[in-house]
Amino acid sequence: MKKFFTLLFTVLAINLSTAQITLTEAVDFTVTDIHGVEHNLFEILDGGQYVMIDLFAYWCGPCCSTAPKIKQTYEDYGCNTGDLFVIGMEADGTTAQTEEFETNCGSAGAQPVISGLDGGGSEVVDAYGPAAFPTIILIAPDRTILEQDIWPYDNSNVDVMLEGYGLEKQECGIVGVEELSQINAVQLSPNPVHEVAMLNVELAETADLDIEIFNITGQTVYQNFVGQKTVGNHQLELPTTNLATGTYLIKISVDGVLAETVKMNKL
């Protein structure tokens, strides 16, 4: 059961199906996540994505138990590259406290998360005014708040809800990938990786290869303009020792066109 702000029995007795925010239109915000990346709500909405916001607190037990389920939604719907953009908004903790929550609750390496005190999360939580933690809301591209409180958070039911709004599941990062005759197969091993990953690319035709690795917030963390490669298999070493634990996207371009995207997990 959620932890309510007030200790009044009458509030504790409220049916959990009751909306936990009263807003019907989104309030804009610009925040900085725990990795230092800035996010603006209206820019995301104007790009055509629906936005799911998890309003939570680092000290909240139900928030912790719900966090892995929200991470699953983030991954099931394309890791913020598809129809849905997922973001976590912590209420009153520091970056360190928010990072500890993510690690301890099994949700690290997923959607962008904003600390309350250091990233601007507290102001956003105040603006939306949830009556309980966690409160998960869904906003449409036209800035209408479609769901004021997705609770209890069950992934099967959430899938039905999102599909009802026309949102589709997809692999992380598979957006606008071209079907190219130059590339036959791509394989990454090991995956998950500790220090070094080997990317095997099989080319059907001679072509220029470019390899880029992005973190979950879209930042480039590794780039290798490999150059021209001939027909056959090519093994490319990807140094990952300095990468933080989490999920990454490897994008492979052939002759300047995105040909394949591979999800990599770093331990």
pLDDT digits (tens, 9 = 90+) for 33-63: 987 888 999 999 998 999 999 999 999 999 9
> Domain segments of the chain: what residues?
3-164, 183-266
Phi, psi of 87 (to 5 degrees): -145, 140
- Rounded CA separation 152/244 (Å): 32
CATH T-level topology, domain 3-164: Glutaredoxin (3.40.30)
For the record, the structure tokens of 176 come out as 């606008």
Q: How far apart are CA 211 and CA 199, in angstroms?
A: 10
Per-residue pLDDT, 180:
54
How far apart CA 178 and CA 257 sit, in angstroms, is 7
pLDDT reported for residue 15:
35
| 110 CB neighbour count, 10 Å cutoff | 23
pLDDT digits (tens, 9 = 90+) for 146-174: 999 999 999 999 999 999 999 999 877 54
Q: pLDDT tens digits, the chain, 267 residues: what are they?
A: 444 443 332 333 333 345 689 999 999 999 999 878 889 999 999 989 999 999 999 999 999 999 999 999 999 998 888 899 999 999 999 999 999 999 999 988 788 999 999 999 999 999 999 999 999 999 999 999 999 999 999 999 999 999 999 999 987 754 444 445 677 788 888 888 888 889 988 888 898 999 988 876 667 888 899 999 999 998 999 988 888 887 788 888 888 887 888 878 888
pLDDT at residue 3 in the model: 41
Q: Which CATH architecture has domain 183-266?
A: Sandwich (2.60)
> How much is the CA Rg of the chain, to the nearest whole Å?
20
Report the pLDDT value the prediction gives residue 57, as an integer from 0 to 100.
98
The encoded tokens of residue 22 equal: 């009263």
Decide the pairing of beta strands 113-114 and 84-90: parallel
